Amino acid sequence: MTTKTSNTDKTSKKNTFGPLILDVAVPLGTYYLLKDGLGASTFAALAWSSVGPALRTVWGVVRERRVNGLAGLILLVNVVSLALSFVSGDPRLMLAKDSGVSSTIGIAILVSVALGRPMMTEGLKPFLVKGDAAREAAFERLRAGSAGFRKAERAYSVVWGVALLAECAVRIVGAYTLPVDTMVWLGTVVLLGAIGIGMVVSGGLAAEPMARMVSAEVDAAEVDAAETTGVPKVAVAA
């Protein structure tokens, strides 16, 4: 039992940040790489960085019969930004506008928590259940009946909402107080720093505890099944 939980925890540490990497870090990273690193136009960078969220959104609808909320939000923000990219003006305003993506995502995440439907959960769930029916059932039981699990679920989303809003605030202040050339590269550093902090805090505060709770719930269900059938747990686990 201990070995099983330990292996699950090790796997969860590798997979905890998958949703953020796929739904947030990759699109934002692609945008800044193309725009600041490779010199692409704002329009081209936004268009290409929208491909991943678009595919993730379509895949969620086709395979799971639901919309991937975070990927869909990234796609919507990018579409709106594509329209706004035709607006030119003060370079400081353009730098500040770049933070609009992360701020919109952060606000939406916090609103979803306030509404009782933490947006980040659906992205994190596949990496906690790993396609296993027993872990899927355990996850749903915990979400329906465990106050501690729901608290961790909310905390995971809150951490990311606050991290993205803080990143936005820092970049806006920098856009109007630091030299433009400095903010061109420093903005990306701030973004990566916010993502790094979010990973560490959300993982230790919420994602890893949730993974341990799911593993414990699976083990408890196996013990109950063994007691009901009279078959030792070792045989059930095998």
Percent of the chain with pLDDT over 90: 21
- The pLDDT of residue 32 is 72
Split at pLDDT 50, 70, 90, the class of 76 is low
Higher local confidence (pLDDT), 166 or 14: 166
The amino acid present at 88, given as its one-letter code, is S
Higher local confidence (pLDDT), 126 or 209: 209
Higher local confidence (pLDDT), 71 or 189: 189
Give the range among 143-152, 160-169, 187-196 with minimum mean pLDDT. 187-196
Percent of the chain with pLDDT over 70: 58
Split at pLDDT 50, 70, 90, the class of 23 is low
Between CA 47 and CA 61 the distance in angstroms is 21
3-state per-residue secondary structure call for the chain: CHHHHHHHHHHHHHHCCHHHHHHHHHHHHHHHHHHHHCCCCHHHHHHHHCHHHHHHHHHHHHHHCCCCHHHHHHHHHHHHHHHHCCCCCCHHHHHHHHCHHHHHHHHHHHHHHHCCCCCHHHHHHHHHHCCCHHHHHHHHHHHHHCHHHHHHHHHHHHHHHHHHHHHHHHHHHHHHHCCHHHHHHHHHHHHHHHHHHHHHHHHHHHHHHHHHHHHHHHHHHHHHHHHHHCCCHHHHHC
Split at pLDDT 50, 70, 90, the class of 68 is low
Mean pLDDT of 48-74: 62
pLDDT in tens, 129-149: 888 889 999 999 999 889 999
Higher local confidence (pLDDT), 5 or 146: 146
pLDDT in tens, 103-116: 888 898 899 999 98
Domain ranges of the chain: 2-237
Split at pLDDT 50, 70, 90, the class of 4 is very low
- The pLDDT of residue 176 is 86
Give the range among 36-40, 57-61, 135-139, 218-222 with minimum mean pLDDT. 57-61
Q: Angle CA(191)–CA(124)–CA(202) in degrees, nearest 5?
A: 50
Between CA 129 and CA 4 the distance in angstroms is 14
Higher local confidence (pLDDT), 154 or 19: 154
Q: Are 43 and 85 in contact (CB under 8 A)?
A: yes
Higher local confidence (pLDDT), 11 or 147: 147
